[in-house]
Amino acid sequence: QTTTAKKILIVYLTRTKNTEAVARMIQKDIGGKLVALELVNPYPADYRAHVAQMVQENQDNFLPPLKTKIDSIGKFDIVFVGFPTWDMKIPPPIKTFLKQYDLSGKTVVPFNTNAGYGVGSGFETVKELCPKSKVLEGYSTKGGIERDGILFVMKDDKERQVNAEVQEWLKKIGLIK
Ligand SMILES: Cc1cc2nc3c(=O)[nH]c(=O)nc-3n(C[C@H](O)[C@H](O)[C@H](O)COP(=O)(O)O)c2cc1C
């Protein structure tokens, strides 16, 4: 069975749209259904308030409920999971998604944007939460630095660079030719 015959889902969490831009590049290269994860209770617009809430959620191991519902996850063979680095970890809503949906037997492909400090423990956490999935090598790139007022960066040279890197990565992990 070729990749193109497989059913692909691209799930992502985004606040300032950098991770979403990468999700769209992946879709352009490989197809599939794009789904942005929305929360029942959205995070505060204020960055500091958002950081404080998220740190507390991590401490409490709280899983914020998702407003987004994915119908018949069972029909997908490959599930891309995209997220920004938050506090050098996976964001709590991604933990909700990975715990709520049964991805066993599927291929899971993580991707990430961050402020330049890397994915942190994010890809490792995906592996831990998907013990019965085949988790492929992830892709990570520098996105915005909201702390310094830098929001969306996936344009011009950066957009071209990430486009090329995403294609290389998808070839390397054997999902496109
Ligand atoms: C609440 C919060 C916490 C963050 N923590 C980190 C961090 O620990 N390390 C890092 O490199 N970037 C961190 N960032 C920056 C984001 O990972 C980066 O801006 C990313 O590109 C945002 O993706 P998005 O545009 O899809 O929301 C944080 C951003 C937010 C909003």
Q: Does residue 1 carry a pLDDT above 60? A: no
Q: Does ligand 1 have an atom closer than 6 angstroms to the CB of 143?
A: yes
Ligand 1: centre distance to CA 94 (Å)? 14
Ligand 1: centre distance to CA 58 (Å)? 15
Closest CA to 139 of 113, 159, 164, 175: 113
What's the confidence (pLDDT) of residue 6? 87
Tell me the whole-structure pTM to 2 decimals: 0.97
Q: Does residue 5 carry a pLDDT above 80? A: no
Determine which residue's CA is closest to atom 27 belonging to ligand 1.
15
Q: Which residues contact 156 (CB under 8 A, 6 or more apart)?
A: none
Q: Does residue 3 carry a pLDDT above 60? A: no
What's the confidence (pLDDT) of residue 54? 98
Q: Secondary structure of the chain in the HEC alphabet?
A: CCHHHCCEEEEECCCCCHHHHHHHHHHHHHCCEEEECCECCCCCCCHHHHHHHHHHHHHHCCCCCECCCCCCHHHCCEEEEEEECECCECCHHHHHHHHHCCCCCCEEEEEEEECCCCCCCHHHHHHHHCCCCEECCCEEEECCEHHHCECCCCCHHHHHHHHHHHHHHHHHCCCCC
Closest CA to 78 of 129, 19, 5: 5
- Tell me which CATH code domain 3-172 carries: 3.40.50.360
Q: Read off the pLDDT band of 131 (50, 70, 90).
A: very high
Closest CA to 124 of 90, 87, 82, 83: 90
Q: Is the dihedral of CA 81, 84, 86, 91 positive or negative?
A: negative
Residue pair 164/155 in contact by the 8 Å Cβ criterion = no
Q: Does residue 113 carry a pLDDT above 60? A: yes
Q: What is the ipTM of this complex?
A: 0.99
Q: Read off the pLDDT band of 4 (50, 70, 90).
A: low
What's the confidence (pLDDT) of residue 7? 96
List pLDDT tens digits, range 50-81: 999 999 999 999 999 999 999 999 999 999 99
Domain coordinates of the chain in residue numbers? 3-172
Q: What is the mean pLDDT of the chain?
A: 97
Ligand 1: centre distance to CA 113 (Å)? 7
Report the nearest atom of ligand 1 relative to the CA of 144: 19
Residue pair 15/43 in contact by the 8 Å Cβ criterion = yes
